[in-house]
């Protein structure tokens, strides 16, 4: 007796069959050749290019600022040279009076920046006779019975000028004496057979000052220059 199998059972018991492949091949599309592209510009296996560095904008800005500063410095130095030349020309064009009274007016009309230069240039004229003339004019104004506003202004000018000139003459004379002493001590060092011992003795006696050290530096620089000239 044949057993009946339900339709569901028949479907479950049927072996699975592999679908037959289609005999026709799927159409293929040909790809166009794409040119090669550089995708990584930092690729440098042999280290030829070196490590990448940043800060290009900062360096460029620094260079521009340096150029601007250099131009500003050159312009400033040019202005200083022109100002020195202008003052020198004006100084040389001034006529030096022959009398003490004229010399008083000369210094009263001198620019404050030129006072030290004029003191050095006219030091022989700044004698006791000149300062005596200034003191007498000051005394005449002070002991006048009546003094006008012009006399008061004149008194202030004369007293200020007298003070500046006296201090300037004192400083100038001290500088000249220091230079003379420094030259004598420098010759002592250069002519010594044992310069190291001579320097130590001068240090103990406190005989070394700025003037002699400046002369020593100038002497060393001059000696080096002479050696270079001889070698060449």
Residue 186 forms part of a structural domain:
yes
Q: What is the pTM of this model?
A: 0.55
Domain count within the chain: 1
Under 8 Å CB-to-CB from 104, ≥6 apart: which residues?
133, 134, 137, 158, 161
Of 129, 137, 127, 128, residue with least CA distance to 105:
137
Side-chain half-sphere CA neighbours of 64 within 13 A: 6
**Banded pLDDT at 151 (limits 50, 70, 90):** very high
**Banded pLDDT at 33 (limits 50, 70, 90):** low
Q: What is the overall mean pLDDT for the chain?
A: 77
The per-residue pLDDT for range 163-185, each reduced to its tens digit, is 999 999 999 999 888 888 888 88
**Banded pLDDT at 15 (limits 50, 70, 90):** low
Residue 27 forms part of a structural domain:
no
Least confident of 1-5, 23-27, 69-73, 201-205: 1-5
Side-chain half-sphere CA neighbours of 169 within 13 A: 15
Q: Which residue has the tokens 């070698």?
A: 231
Find out whether 131 and 103 touch, Cβ atoms under 8 Å: no
Residue 40 forms part of a structural domain:
no
pLDDT of 42 over the 60 cut: no
Expressed as residue numbers, the domain containing 90 is 74-226
- Exposed/middle/buried for residue 134 (C-beta within 10 Å: 0-12, 13-18, 19+): buried
Residue 69 forms part of a structural domain:
no
pLDDT score recorded for residue 170: 95
Residue 29 forms part of a structural domain:
no
């Amino acid at each position: 007796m044949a057993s009946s199998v339900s339709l569901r059972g028949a479907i479950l018991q049927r072996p699975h069959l592999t679908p037959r492949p289609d005999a026709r091949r799927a159409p293929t599309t040909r790809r166009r050749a794409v040119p090669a592209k550089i995708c990584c510009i930092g690729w440098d296996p042999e280290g030829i290019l070196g490590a990448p560095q940043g800060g290009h904008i900062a360096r460029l800005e620094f260079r521009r600022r340096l150029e601007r500063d250099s131009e500003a410095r050159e312009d400033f130095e040019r202005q200083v040279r022109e100002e020195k030349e202008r003052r020198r020309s004006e100084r040389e064009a001034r006529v030096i009076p022959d009398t003490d009274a004229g010399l008083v007016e000369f210094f009263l009309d001198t620019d404050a920046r030129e006072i030290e230069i004029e003191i050095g240039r006219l030091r022989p004229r700044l004698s006791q006779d000149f300062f005596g003339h200034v003191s007498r004019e000051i005394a005449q104004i002070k002991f006048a019975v009546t003094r006008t506003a012009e006399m008061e202004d004149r008194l202030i000018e004369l007293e200020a000028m007298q003070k500046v000139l006296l201090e300037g003459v004192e400083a100038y004379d001290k500088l000249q004496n220091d230079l003379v002493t420094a030259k004598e001590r420098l010759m002592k060092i250069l002519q010594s057979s044992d310069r190291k011992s001579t320097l130590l003795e001068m240090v103990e006696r406190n005989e070394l000052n700025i003037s002699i050290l400046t002369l020593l530096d100038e002497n060393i620089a001059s000696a080096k220059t002479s050696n270079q000239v001889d070698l060449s």
